[in-house]
Amino acid sequence: MIDLATRVAPPGAAPTWRRAAPALLGYAAVRALGLLVLAGWSAARGTSAYPLLTARWDALWYTGVAELGYGYEVRLPNGDVHSNLAFFPLLPWLERLGHAATPLSYADSGFVVSLLASLAAAWGVFAVADHVYGRRAGVCAVLLWAALPVGIVQSMAYSESLFTALAAWALYAVLTGRWVAAGALALLAGLTRPVGLAVVAAVWTAAVVTFVRDRRARRVAPSGRARSTAPPSGAHGDERAPLPSPGPSPEGAPVWRRALGMALAPLGAAGYVLWVGHRTGAGPLGYLDVQAGWRNGFDGGYAFARFVGEKFTSFPSALAGVALVVGVGLLGWLYVVCVRQRQPLPLLVYAGAVTALALCASSYFGSKPRLLLPAFPLLLPLARALAGARPRTSALAVAATVAVSAVYGAFWLNGSGPP
């Protein structure tokens, strides 16, 4: 059976700064190493690392929205239209706020927002992992998330760090029965990236399950037998025991709080999508037309499968094809392990939705690794294994992963980089 949640943290317990300090210090050290290696690699090539973090690819689109607002578009020779309406507004809003409140440029403000959001995300990842598996697993989860091969994106003026922070804390709020906070954070996540729908799905699924469990619990008499409800002749009442408690007692989580959390959760994503439809005059689903101009869409993974298959047409590219197949297989295996280890249902729903949206979208295939960055619950089985290993083994494994991540991040960003 899949748990909806684990223990409920008592007031004042995790996640405090002191409890999370080892994870946050470790995260800062990993990301600092990544930035130092990037700076050294860029200097060796005679370039600067900072523009790679703040003034390329999506970062330029975000700063453009912050400075000029929506309405800018680029028409390509093949007829495609790249509109900045494809970019959700929360990060540009924060960049504009930082620029107005400080001497920072829009790009500098985006970099600062990303750095602060990445720390908030690390804290949120720790809070979730600590709540489910304990403090040591929480520290390991944060270090693994920091040391992902594309972890350098966490330090770029992109929206991945901001989104992961909002998603992680929304999930923590669900796990601890803070439904209004969960809904509000899901709303903000929905204003950050289209994949905010994954957070909404997690909040809604958890809330619906708690409603069902509460209803079943109310039908059970204090003695454990079902209340008499005048069953049909010869039949018996429902004597099944209630499902395990999903979190706080009904008295600690009134129905209206859960309902309000559910109502708040989709407002961010739905509000922006409807606004885009109104602005473009294309109706409620006009945002899909905007994405189509970028050749983005959801095709169930057909385009990605075809892309992988084409890699096997020649020997050199076949190696990349094998790597892609192994990578997708690893993601599937990790998700199965998450299910077998009875991860809380909100985490399974969220991680599954993020992974599905990343792999089944017809967007630029080179962006898929960074689109998977927010799927941190997939790292929890590895974090749990590291937490249970000998300290020396865990330290060597983490150190090797961090070193590979730092070198790969510098190589990647100085090459094709994240689109």
Q: What pLDDT, in 10s, does the model give residues 253-281?
A: 688 899 999 999 999 999 999 999 999 98
Whether the Cβ atoms of residue 123 and residue 225 lie closer than 8 Å to each other = no
What is the per-residue pLDDT across 384-418, written as a single tens digit (0 to 9) for each?
999 999 999 999 999 999 999 999 999 999 987 76
What is the per-residue pLDDT across 333-377, written as a single tens digit (0 to 9) for each?
999 999 999 999 999 999 999 999 999 887 777 788 899 999 999
Side-chain half-sphere of 217: how many Cα atoms within 13 Å?
A: 12
Q: Where are the alpha helices (DSSP H) in 45-156?
A: 50-54, 58-68, 90-101, 106-133, 135-146
Q: What is the dihedral of CA 345, 347, 350, 352, to 10 degrees?
A: -80
The whole-angstrom separation of Cα 165 and Cα 91 is: 12
pTM score above 0.85: yes
Q: How far is CA 106 from CA 5, 66, 191, 418, in A?
A: 40, 7, 19, 20
pLDDT category at 232 given cuts 50, 70, 90 is: very low
Pairing verdict, β 73-75 and 81-83 = antiparallel
Bigger pLDDT: 43 vs 250: 43
Bigger pLDDT: 231 vs 48: 48
